[in-house]
Amino acid sequence: MKINAISLVAATLLAAPAFAQSASGDAAKGEKVFNQCQACHVVAAPDGTVLAGRNGKVGPNLYGIPESKAAAVEGFKYSKGLHEAAEEGLVWNEENFVQYVQDPTKFLQEFTGDKKARAAMMFKIRKEEDAQNVYAYLVSLVK
């Protein structure tokens, strides 16, 4: 009985980060907005299962992006500005993600303090609510 209780506690602690992720947006609405993102991005699970998108390869795979470190997808060539932000500790929490997707270059310049910092992503999600919804959608894909 003691071993089962210990196993249950360990499993709960290991799963805690996944349950801790939450978002203020509407995942169902975010799925619709993500249609604009799928030309460049895919959301593919570690086993290769495509959860969203059409296998876009211009941008990095967005699986597990919520609460992850920036510039963390191995093998993807990020902009110098995004690498600089990552070195300064950028994590894709909801606030940072929403600000970034609304104006990537402006966000990187403000985050790093480097007015020459540039993002490779040119697309912008105009509405804050749409950006929040996309974040909620990405969170929903890893639960």
Range of the domain at 13: 2-140
pTM of the model: 0.82
Which string of b and e fits 72-108 if b means at least 16 CB within 10 Å?
Answer: eeeeeebbebbbbbbeeebebebebbbbbbbbbbebb
What pLDDT score does 22 carry? 67
Q: What is the mean pLDDT of the chain?
A: 87
Domain count, the chain: 1
Tens of pLDDT, residue by residue over 46-71, are: 999 999 998 788 999 999 999 999 99
Mean pLDDT of 99-111: 98
Neighbours of 62 (CB within 10 A): 28
Mean pLDDT of 126-135: 98
Q: What CATH number is given to the structural domain containing 9?
A: 1.10.760.10
How far is CA 22 from each of CA 8, 17, 135, 143, rounded to the nearest angstrom?
A: 23, 10, 9, 10
What pLDDT score does 112 carry? 97
